[in-house]
Structure 1
Amino acid sequence: MTGPHPAPPGRAQQAQTHLLALIRDQHLPPGTPLPSEGQLSAQLGISRGMIREAYRALAARGVVSVANGRAPRVAAPDPAPLTEVLDHALLGQAASATQILEVRRALELQVAAQAAAHRTGAQAAALRASVSAMQAAGPGTDAFIEHDLHFHTLLAGATGNPLHGVLVGALHALLARSIRSGLPHYADPAHFGALVDVHDRLARAVERRDPQAAAEITREHFALAELAVSLAEQRQPE
């Protein structure tokens, strides 16, 4: 005796499935206009209200962009939903700075090498400008943290792989925590100079298209970061 058959998907869900398949199968890039509610309603035999519901659901997932007065469009990759998943996963068990660095190292070793292989001239120039901004901001400032995060966002974008951008973007809150935990170590001008220097050398390796050097410098970067975090944890009162 077989169990009950699952209920068929709702009409709005059918419209979502159709739209997702359209975006995937036709490789539609961000910004591409999608069919209007009226067009989809006539094509699928689904009411405009259900089509509207489907678009709203996909917009909430960051897949499409909807705005009054214009056709729905394919949205740019949005790390926000993944950030929410990570935040939920860490509820009640906050990751330590050392654990965050472990995840960052595994991801960014590959990011650095791929950025060196695939970067554009404009992306290389943006990385160099980001290092200059880090230097100008100085240690222990919110501006420094923002420029450091921006550097790693630019690096991910230079890989040409949108998934790297989404993953690095989703980790931003954790990255900021990681950077802040090591900032007391970089109050010393020599240590801060070493941090800026390793970013500068990484930007130069990417600029000259040297994946091996980019990966090696990234390993050095994380060795410095792990030392800073370790010293910061030792200073914390028990």
Structure 2
Amino acid sequence: MSEIKRSTIFSGKVASPLRLADTVSDAIAAALLEGSIAPGEALPPEGEIAKEFGVSRPIAREALRQLTSAGLVTTQQGKVARAKALSGEPMDKIYGYAVRSSIKSLKEANEMRRVMETGIAKLAASRRDADGLALMRKALADMHSSLGNPQEFTEADIRFHLGMAMTTGNSMIRIQIEGLRSIQTQVSEIFSTRSTRSMDDWRRTVARHQDIFKAIEAGDPQAAEDRILAHYEAADVASVEVAEDSRGGNP
């Protein structure tokens, strides 16, 4: 019985004996990101990968380990490796370790998000992807219904900003915002539980998000940028209040 010949999946061959595992993992990653292998689909066996690239099994094994660490592949003992959908999960884990509830980390997190989301808001207002707008709209409704509940409000807040990223229609921006989930969670929870947090303050937070949504929905990039900047100015004030809480109210 003749062997069925399998078509080549990966583009590119190993050109240098140096850092072979990196070269192999780069080629496999390109196939995953180009859609040659769909999320959830099994990759070829380790031996077949080694044969296709002309490398040893240990090199193929190391390439798969690199892809697993990057969050592009899932592997289990005794089972084939499978492709994963590209997401911000690896970055989220790193930020989760990095961010802590100190005034310094809060300021740095707000500064980073301000820089990113001013551009995101403008692009979202220009693109207005329907799915992203729908997620923002639903998140706003959930924020209204969860006033006074830090955990539920935080989840709605995260979905709002993810929706804004999706409204750009840019998958790389969506992944980047997914990678900030740990930061968003910690910042939102700390702000929501500070001693000065009144019900009026909760409502003002929702109103700022509503203003951002309206500017994006209306297709006004400049207004969207202005509303985001106003939102983060309020976050800076909240950071000072959190710092005062941590010092017991002492100046």
Same topology, TM > 0.5: yes
Show the counterpart of 1:213.
223
Q: Greater shift after overlay, 75-84 or 154-163? A: 75-84
Show the counterpart of 1:189.
199
Query: Cα deviations across residues 131-175 of structure 1 (Å, max 9, x unaligned)?
Result: 110111112521111111121122122222333223322222222
| Structure 2 residue 54 is matched with structure 1 residue 45 | yes
| Structure 2 residue 26 is matched with structure 1 residue 17 | yes
- Structure 2: gaps spanning 5 or more residues: 1-15
Q: Greater shift after overlay, 14-23 or 96-105? A: 14-23
Instruction: Give the direction of change, closer, same or farther, for the CA distance of 1:34–1:87 in structure 2 (3 Å limit).
Output: same
Q: Which amino acid aligns with 1:213?
A: A
Show the counterpart of 2:243.
233
Instruction: Give the direction of change, closer, same or farther, for the CA distance of 1:70–1:150 in structure 2 (3 Å limit).
Output: same
Tell me, in whole angstroms, the C-alpha distance in 1 between the residues paired with 2:120 and 2:37. 22
Shift of 1:30: 5.9
Instruction: Give the direction of change, closer, same or farther, for the CA distance of 1:59–1:29 in structure 2 (3 Å limit).
Output: same
Aligned partner of 2:44 among 36, 58, 63: 36
Q: Greater shift after overlay, 111-120 or 50-59? A: 50-59
Tell me, in whole angstroms, the C-alpha distance in 2 between the residues paired with 1:196 and 1:215. 17
The 8 Å contact of residues 116 and 210 in structure 1, kept in 2 or not, is answered as: yes
Helix, strand or coil at the partner of 2:104? coil
Q: How many residues align?
A: 229
Show the counterpart of 2:69.
60
**Structure 1 vs Structure 2: percent identity of aligned residues?**
23
TM-score of the superposition, structure 2-length normalised? 0.75
Show the counterpart of 2:109.
100
The 8 Å contact of residues 134 and 147 in structure 1, kept in 2 or not, is answered as: yes
Tell me, in whole angstroms, the C-alpha distance in 2 between the residues paired with 1:181 and 1:11. 46
| Structure 2 residue 146 is matched with structure 1 residue 137 | yes
- Structure 1: gaps spanning 5 or more residues: 1-6
Tell me, in whole angstroms, the C-alpha distance in 1 between the residues paired with 2:93 and 2:70. 11
The 8 Å contact of residues 112 and 211 in structure 1, kept in 2 or not, is answered as: yes
Q: Which amino acid aligns with 1:218?
A: I
Instruction: Give the direction of change, closer, same or farther, for the CA distance of 1:71–1:172 in structure 2 (3 Å limit).
Output: closer
Tell me, in whole angstroms, the C-alpha distance in 2 between the residues paired with 1:141 and 1:32. 35
TM-score of the superposition, structure 1-length normalised? 0.78
Q: Which amino acid aligns with 1:148?
A: D
Tell me, in whole angstroms, the C-alpha distance in 1 between the residues paired with 2:191 and 2:181. 16
Helix, strand or coil at the partner of 1:95? helix
5 Å-filtered alignment, 1:142-181, equals 142-181=151-190
Q: CA RMSD in A?
A: 3.2
